[in-house]
Amino acid sequence: MGKRVSEYVLKFKENVQSRLKKIAGGQDHVAKKFDKINVKINRFKAGIRSTINEIPLLRNAVNLLQNPFAIVGGLAVGIALGLGSATTAAANFNHEFLSIQNLNLDKSNNQLQQLKGNILSLSLQEGFNAGETVKAFYDVQSATGLYGKAVEDITRKVGRFSIATGADMGASINSTVKAMKAFGMGVNEIDAYLASNAKTVQVGITTFDELAQVQTEYAGAAAAVNQKVDTANKVFAAFTAIAKDSNTAATMTKAAFEGLTQTNTVKGLKSIGVNMFDAKGQMRDVDAVVKDLVPRLKGMTDMQFSNLLNQIGGSEGLRNLLKQLKVAGDDVITTFDAFDRSSFSIEEALKNAKGDYTTLKNLVSNQVNTAMIMLGQQILPIVIRGFAAFNSMMSWFSSNAGLVKDILVSIGIALVGMGAAWVVSNAAMLAAGATMLWVKGSTAVLTAAQWLLNAALTANPIGIVVGALAALGAAFYLAWQRSEKFRAILMGAWEVIKGFGVLVKDYIIDRIKGVVTGVTGLGKTLRAFFKGDWKNAWETGKQAMLDLTGTQAKINLAKNAGGLADDWKKGYQKGLDSYKNDQAVDGATDKAAQGATAGGSKTIPGVGPGTSATSINSVAGGGGGTRQRNVTVHIGKLVESIVIQSQGAQLNMDELVAKVEEALVRSVRGSEQMLANG
């Protein structure tokens, strides 16, 4: 029993080892495969790096992608460019829409805005070019007098037909509205008319653009003889097979409708058994008349045919038509039959067109452009307000040219002061240099030279700046004291600066609020989107984008910026009032001083008349007691002038001080004596 167990275990072990070897071999094989793949990937990476390094612009672009600031900056620039493109697209669209506004002066602004929205919605849904759609609405309304839904239906039908057939939308609209007027068609008959045009191109030798251009040539003549659109197009398609081009075929078609109904033509054709009218006296369809006429013309001899032409007479176009029917009448009839057998489905044609890459690319491009216009419609009002504010500002400058001139003059005074300081400083430098060469021992001259040297030191850059600032300050003070308008301008500018600071503060706060509400709005948009609430997602998303882009903050800024003009006027008036008050105070002070001087005040010897006043209290004895007297002395200038005359010797500084002190003592003693004498 133990032996069997031992053998079983041994076999099991060998089995496991063989399997493990297979697994290990398979693992090695897989590892080799992955190694080969890694080698290929590394080679591919190396090739990409080599390609990038060979192209400088591409290398720089890849390096920039590794910089998060470059990515953020690029995104910001991209968003700015996108918004700029959207604004431009919206402005161009509004310019195109202006023609419709002028065509509907009797409509309210709300009705026109709704019409504009309908045009953009139609363009976005169908992939129409928004500019061409505006023109189509204008052409349809101006030609038919329709408005609103009817115009939209016609534009939609013709636009879809143009996409399906590759026809020019403008030309198709033009031919459609003219056919509507010529044949008296309504909106419900547009589909049949477009299908008839498609069959005309299918069986005739023409194109949609050519048909659109020449159809008006024969449509009026056909409608005049009670022919339908199908009949008119059928005859035209048949004549394209025997005419040299579409224009010639259109002329022949017109001649057929005009000439075949003339009296001589009716009689001549009746003589060979072809009736132009049915039993009820109504004109038969021209295609049926031609089918009866061709066999009879073919069986005529040349003489018989010549006699028929002479009998009918008519225009050259009619005679050429009959000649063509005799020679190639079978081709005309074949075309008639092909026209009747052909069919056209707008839905199938549109499906095929949308499967074409070029057509689909154009549709998507139109839809993107329309979406940009719709985005730009939200931004454009802000831009318009900005331009209006700029226009108002320029108008203000124009009407306040004198004030602007005063500001510029004040600035000019300051600049002149700075220039004068610079000139003085440089002149002082030259004078100092000359003086240093000339000075030789005189104390007075040395003092003057030292003064000039000190002035010359201001010629270094720091000295120039200090001197210029001093000159500017002096010019500023002088202008403030003596110029009424200068003071008013500065105070007005100060009020504007304060108002602008408030605007900046409010704008920053509004932007912060906008970012917070915008982020919250994006969350609500995503929630509504995943719930399938498309309308709510669109509204909240649109509002979130407006908040994130700071639209409301910019609106508030533009709105409040208009108050800066009021701030300017307020500050300007305050400046005028301040100047007038200062002048009034100075005048009153001068008048009071002059009155006090003239009132009999005694003059102290050595002291001139003045405008300032002080009190001197003196106590003197007399008559039985002491008494106090108050004497008011008006002192203007303590020393009007000091003249020192010296002969034969020079005074030093100590002697000069002593002379001044002596003069002052004499003046004081004289005043004491005057007080004592009462």
In tens, the pLDDT along 141-181 reads 998 889 989 999 999 999 999 998 888 999 899 989 988 88
Q: What does the pLDDT read at residue 102?
A: 93
Query: Which strand (E) or helix (H) includes residue 375?
Result: helix 357-399
Q: Which residues make Cβ contacts (< 8 Å) with residue 548, sequence separation at least 6?
A: 514, 515, 518, 519, 522
Q: What share of the chain is helix, strand, coil (3-state, %, to 5)?
A: 80, 5, 15
- CA distances (Å), origin 625, targets 275, 556, 620: 159, 83, 9
**pLDDT digits 0-9 by tens, 59-77:** 566 565 555 655 556 666 6
Q: Which residues make Cβ contacts (< 8 Å) with residue 256, sequence separation at least 6?
A: 235, 239, 286, 290, 318, 321
Q: What does the pLDDT read at residue 472?
A: 64
Average pLDDT over residues 239-248: 86
**Would you say 500 and 523 are in contact if contact means Cβ atoms under 8 Å apart?**
no
Q: What does the pLDDT read at residue 356?
A: 86
CA distance 587 to 578: 14
**pLDDT digits 0-9 by tens, 507-549:** 777 777 777 777 777 777 777 777 777 778 778 777 877 777 7
**pLDDT digits 0-9 by tens, 430-478:** 554 544 444 444 444 445 545 554 555 454 545 555 555 666 666 666 6
Average pLDDT value for the chain: 74
Residue 227 has pLDDT above 80, yes or no: yes
One-letter amino acid of 360: L
**pLDDT digits 0-9 by tens, 565-597:** 787 788 888 878 887 887 777 666 666 555 545
Q: Which residues make Cβ contacts (< 8 Å) with residue 335, sequence separation at least 6?
A: 203, 204, 234, 237, 238, 240, 241
Residue 364 has pLDDT above 80, yes or no: yes
Closest CA to 606 of 656, 657, 660: 660
CA distance 236 to 512: 69
Residue 621 has pLDDT above 50, yes or no: no
**Would you say 439 and 449 are in contact if contact means Cβ atoms under 8 Å apart?**
yes
Beta bridge partners of 630: 617
CA distance 30 to 248: 78
CA distance 435 to 447: 11
CA distance 554 to 384: 12
Q: How confident is the model at residue 646 (pLDDT cuts 50, 70, 90)?
A: low
Residue 502 has pLDDT above 90, yes or no: no
The alpha carbon torsion through 665, 671, 672, 676 (nearest 10 deg) reads 160
Average pLDDT over residues 81-87: 78
CB atoms closer than 10 angstroms to residue 451? 13
Q: What predicted TM-score, i.e. pTM, was given to this entire model? A: 0.49
Question: Which range among 175-184, 447-456, 552-561, 655-664 shows the weakest confidence by mean pLDDT?
Answer: 447-456
One-letter amino acid of 97: F
Question: Which range among 205-209, 544-548, 615-619, 646-650 shows the weakest confidence by mean pLDDT?
Answer: 615-619
H-type alpha helices, 104-203? 109-126, 130-144, 149-165, 169-183, 190-203
Tokens representing 163? Answer: 């996409």
Q: What does the pLDDT read at residue 11?
A: 47
Helix (H, G, I), strand (E, B) or coil at 127: coil
CB atoms closer than 10 angstroms to residue 618? 13
**Would you say 253 and 235 are in contact if contact means Cβ atoms under 8 Å apart?**
yes
Q: How confident is the model at residue 611 (pLDDT cuts 50, 70, 90)?
A: very low
CA distance 247 to 255: 12
Q: How confident is the model at residue 79 (pLDDT cuts 50, 70, 90)?
A: confident
Indicate the domain borders of the chain. 2-64, 401-565, 612-617+630-677
Closest CA to 178 of 132, 130, 131, 229: 229
Residue 253 has pLDDT above 70, yes or no: yes
Q: Higher-confidence residue: 232 or 260?
A: 232
Q: What percent of the chain has pLDDT over 70?
A: 63
Tokens representing 11? Answer: 């076999």
CA distance 186 to 179: 10
Q: What percent of the chain has pLDDT over 90?
A: 11
Q: What does the pLDDT read at residue 501?
A: 75
What is the residue whose two structure tokens read 């100060």?
A: 494
CA distance 285 to 569: 82
Region of 253 (left: φ > 0; alpha: ψ -120 to 50; beta: rest) is alpha
